Structure 1
Amino acid sequence: MHSHGHSHANDDEKHEHPVASRKQMLWAVLLTGSFMLVEVVGGLISGSLALLADAGHMLTDTAALLLAFYAITLSTKPADNKRTFGYGRLQVLAAYTNGIFLILLTGWILWESIQRFYQPNPIQSMTMLVVAILGLVVNLIVFKILHSASDSNINVRSALLHVIGDLLGSVGAIVAALIIWQWGILWVDPLLSIVVSMLILRSAYRIIKDSSHILLEGKPQEMDSHLIRQDLMALEGIEDIHHIHLWSISEQEPLMTFHAVISNGFDKDVMIDKMLELLQQKHGITHATIQVESTSCAEELNPVGCEERA
């Protein structure tokens, strides 16, 4: 006998996010995005490539925050006849595209930095210093906004990491502006630009790597299929677990399918419930499809004739 079990347990809970978190994320996006434009203008006026590089870093932050906000917003949108898995994969596609763009941006900054070493441009250190200090203040405000909501939302916590990186970039720009103002050492500006570019490149690489893994239907990084099989096999009445497939729609939505051979004499509906409960409570998998096979059916040379129940 074959049967199919689906776990949609806590789907409603999974898609519920505090309204406060959504508002806080929106404020963070607006503040970070607005000041990114200020840094671009400040970098062009002052001639500081470091400010332009930091603006590029803030662009990564804005994109990360926007994706997090987008994820919270889309999480309330139900699946439909056209998108039966919902719209969570859109944020992965956006992240992949963003990562490619960031690599191109980093290449431009590195090229300009090398040129600046050979042909230093005059820099208005005071303009650079004022903009960098304002950037530090904005980043501290954004950090405070997100930190208050990060305890209950893993999505917010991941965005918070980007803001911490930008805090370091703002501090570096302030130090560079002070050095240029005090000693007139212009090469510190392109040097800082290269450092910030490395931060952007690292973020871009991780974004492309993680999003590609999801788009290729890769196994969620934190999950071990061997351990999951071991836990399922430990249930009384389970003889074998095979044809295991693990993938995810987005980082927060793991999915699983597998075949389970159940001993004769055990109620298959009860065993399905036990397996789904184990997957949810121990491994955080709230959406699983299980094809159950009885011992007699599994031993058949031609199991096509076995009764199927959906």
Structure 2
Amino acid sequence: MSHDHSHACSHGHEHGQGHGHAHSHHGHAHPTPGPDDWNRAFAIGIGLNIAFVVVEALYGWKAGSLALLADAGHNLSDVAGLILAWGAALAGRLAPTRHRTYGWQRASILAALANAVLLLVAMGALAVEAFQRLQAPEPVAGWTVIVVAAIGVLINGVTAALFMVGSKDDLNIRGAFLHMAADALVSLGVVAAGVLYLQFGWVWLDPVMSLVIALVIVLGTWGLLRQSLHLAFDGVPEGIDLLEVHDWLRSQPGVTGVHDLHVWALGTSEVALTAHLVMPAGHPGDAFFTELARVLAQRFRIHHPTIQIEIDGIDDGCPAPHVPG
């Protein structure tokens, strides 16, 4: 089995026995912000949240509000999550080496997975505290809770907005976005709990609202956990139909067979493909690979294809994936 996973590109390289191999790295055309924009977003988000954690923890302690203290703890986990995501984004831009031919792109997948786990752990801790407080509800300083939590809505909302665009295309950025959007939701719930407490004097509302918020965030985080775990084990990225890719490759002029087809994520925004194409007529020329790379990038979001041409299909013992039709 002859897969070339080096980062260098070569077109039309001829092997013995008439087998051709070509690696095509098509130019990217991502509409998402560039590295400098993300650096700015991460720096602003981390700075704002560190300042808010200090303020919220102080006033949460003074006001005796579990919701505020829990939100401060969650904000602290968000700071860690943002630092993790930023580090992964920076690592993913490191150049490939002879020891790591794809660089550190997978760091973004691992950071997204860690962010999901961090969120779930934080919500678990919040739920435990809320259950304990429900057994012995305590009064809280309603206006203090409302004002501090309202500031949290603003800070977390602004930070989430910084990552909103990239959350659609990059799972690592989506993890950062979900962290901040979840925090904004928590703070909004705390505001609501404070208003209702002032109106009706329900001391049980603070921990109950914390439980409801925790449940909502867990449900929202589950998709991030599932996707990042899937990509960590080289799963086909969401939105790519392996059968459709196979059929499209098979439909290309001169192609009579496709085997050893693999599609996986190098990172949270980069997808790779390897495939053997059986072409009895021989090597199709560089124009064939250029067009192949262009369509794979535009139609399937695959920017790192490696294609091997074979005159006759070779059984190299690599099992074909089961693709339900």
Shorter-chain TM-score category? 0.7 to 0.9
CA distance in 2: counterparts of 1:108 and 1:24, whole angstroms? 28
Q: Greater relative contact order (Cα 8 A, min sep 6): structure 1 or 2?
A: 1
Matched, 1:31 2:48: yes
CA distance in 2: counterparts of 1:190 and 1:205, whole angstroms? 23
What residue is the counterpart of 1:307 in the other structure?
none
Shift in Å at residue 176 of structure 1? 1.0
What residue is the counterpart of 1:88 in the other structure?
105
Shift in Å at residue 244 of structure 1? 0.9
What residue is the counterpart of 1:177 in the other structure?
194
CA distance in 1: counterparts of 2:272 and 2:292, whole angstroms? 14
Shift in Å at residue 33 of structure 1? 3.6
Shift in Å at residue 185 of structure 1? 0.9
Matched, 1:74 2:91: yes
Letter of the 2:290 partner, please give it: D
Are the structure 2 counterparts of residues 143 and 251 from structure 1 closer, same or farther at C-alpha, using a change threshold of 3 Å?
closer
Post-superposition Cα deviations, 1:175-206, rounded to whole Å, max 9, x if no partner, equal 21122233321110001110121133234433
Shift in Å at residue 2 of structure 1? 1.9
Are the structure 2 counterparts of residues 43 and 151 from structure 1 closer, same or farther at C-alpha, using a change threshold of 3 Å?
same
- Name stretches of at least 5 consecutive residues in structure 2 with no aligned partner: 1-17, 317-325
Residue pairs, 1:1-310, within 5 angstroms: 1-10=18-27, 17=34, 19-59=36-76, 61-63=78-80, 65-143=82-160, 145-146=162-163, 150=165, 154-155=169-170, 158=174, 159-264=176-281, 267-294=284-311, 297-298=312-313
What residue is the counterpart of 2:322 in the other structure?
none
Whether the 8 Å CA contact 1:120–1:186 is kept in 2: the answer is yes
Task: Report the secondary structure of 2:259's partner residue.
Answer: strand
Shift in Å at residue 230 of structure 1? 1.8
Between the aligned residues of both structures, percent identity stands at 31
Shift in Å at residue 291 of structure 1? 1.5
Are the structure 2 counterparts of residues 16 and 109 from structure 1 closer, same or farther at C-alpha, using a change threshold of 3 Å?
closer
- Name stretches of at least 5 consecutive residues in structure 1 with no aligned partner: 303-310
Letter of the 1:252 partner, please give it: S
Post-superposition Cα deviations, 1:27-51, rounded to whole Å, max 9, x if no partner, equal 1232134323432333233221212
Post-superposition Cα deviations, 1:46-93, rounded to whole Å, max 9, x if no partner, equal 221212333354356545544553354334321122222111212322
Are the structure 2 counterparts of residues 34 and 199 from structure 1 closer, same or farther at C-alpha, using a change threshold of 3 Å?
farther
CA distance in 2: counterparts of 1:41 and 1:189, whole angstroms? 17
Q: TM-score scaled to structure 1, two decimals? A: 0.82
